[in-house]
Amino acid sequence: MTNAMSNILPYRTRLATRFTTFEVRVETTNLYICAHSNVYDRAIVLVKSLRNDIATYSKKDPQFLTALTPLEPEFTAPEVVQRMCKASVMAGVGPMAAVAGAIAQMVGEDLVRYSPEVIVENGGDIWAYVHEPATISVYAGRSAFSKNLGMALTPNMTPCGICSSSGRFGRSFSFGKADIATIIADTAELADAVATATCNTVQSDSDCTKAVSFACSISGVKGALVIYWDTMAVKGTIQLTEIE
């Protein structure tokens, strides 16, 4: 899983000290937020509201929580549901494949009203808006690339979503076997859905190149990285760097 910054979870690593960092936990949602001030009170209200919107809608349409293919939302569906469904259509997966990214995105979009830079990480899925460079570490489980592989995040790349799916570890549900599939896209909900779809296409090392090509063929995707054991494929705007 990609990411960010803390010693709470194994894939959260150090980030520049220019940020105030804090966690927001509501049931299964666990955000790690980097901002220029502690906006916890605002963030937790947002998370509770978004989770409530999803839970309320899922009572009307129980398939929303379990579908593995795209669903058409009701016209009156909450914005978070609409976003998840739109991303799932573009990626060809179920709407819940976009849930972590959608929550990260919508929380981040709100918090930039209170902080000039914001990074929101939700279970390895990230929405970022920065004015100075940052480095995102890439955790790929058993892969030899896990130890010191990072992605450079530059201001001109943001706002963007950076999301990952794995068939080997973590909470991601996947039909694939990639150690990691990481996507950079215009939005975090799209990156999240496409990461799931991309990981699903990987059954062996020979699938890595076509997997990143598939991801980058989707409108709004800026770059893709896929790792299967000791094989890596990269396409698009991803800038790899070494983490010391």
Q: State pLDDT tens for residues 154-191.
A: 999 999 999 999 866 555 556 778 889 999 999 999 99
pLDDT of 25 above 80: yes
Q: What is the pLDDT of residue 7?
A: 29
- Show the domains of the chain with their CATH numbers: 2-242 (3.10.520.10)
Beta bridge partners of residue 91, listed in sequence order: none
Q: Name the average pLDDT for the chain.
A: 88
Q: What is the amino acid identity at position 71? A: L
Nearest CA to 87 among 213, 217, 192? 192
Q: What is the amino acid identity at position 51? A: R
> In this structure, what are the phi and psi dihedrals at residue 142, rounded to the nearest 5 degrees?
-70, -20
| Residues 6 or more apart whose Cβ sits within 8 Å of residue 72 | 85
Buried b (16+ CB within 10 A) or exposed e, 177-201: bbbbbbbbbebbbbbbbbbbbbbbb
Q: What percent of the chain has pLDDT over 70?
A: 86
- The pTM score is 0.90
> Taking residues 3-21, what's their average pLDDT?
51
Q: How far apart are CA 199 and CA 166, in angstroms?
A: 6
pLDDT interval class at 139 (50, 70, 90):
confident
Nearest CA to 65 among 83, 78, 50, 81? 81
Q: How far apart are CA 57 and CA 65, in angstroms?
A: 10
Q: How far apart are CA 12 and CA 52, in angstroms?
A: 27
Q: Is the peptide bond before 116 cis (omega within 30 degrees of 0)?
A: no
> Taking residues 122-135, what's their average pLDDT?
92
> Which tens digit of pLDDT belongs to each residue from 93-122?
999 999 999 999 999 999 999 999 999 999
Q: How far apart are CA 24 and CA 41, in angstroms?
A: 9
> Taking residues 206-231, what's their average pLDDT?
96
Would you give the distance in Å from CA 2 to the centre of its chain? 8
> Taking residues 7-30, what's their average pLDDT?
70
The secondary element (H helix, E strand) that includes residue 49 is helix 40-60
Q: How far apart are CA 85 and CA 94, in angstroms?
A: 8
pLDDT of 195 above 70: yes
Q: What is the amino acid identity at position 201? A: T
Q: How far apart are CA 227 and CA 177, in angstroms?
A: 10
pLDDT interval class at 138 (50, 70, 90):
confident
Q: What is the pLDDT of residue 45?
A: 98
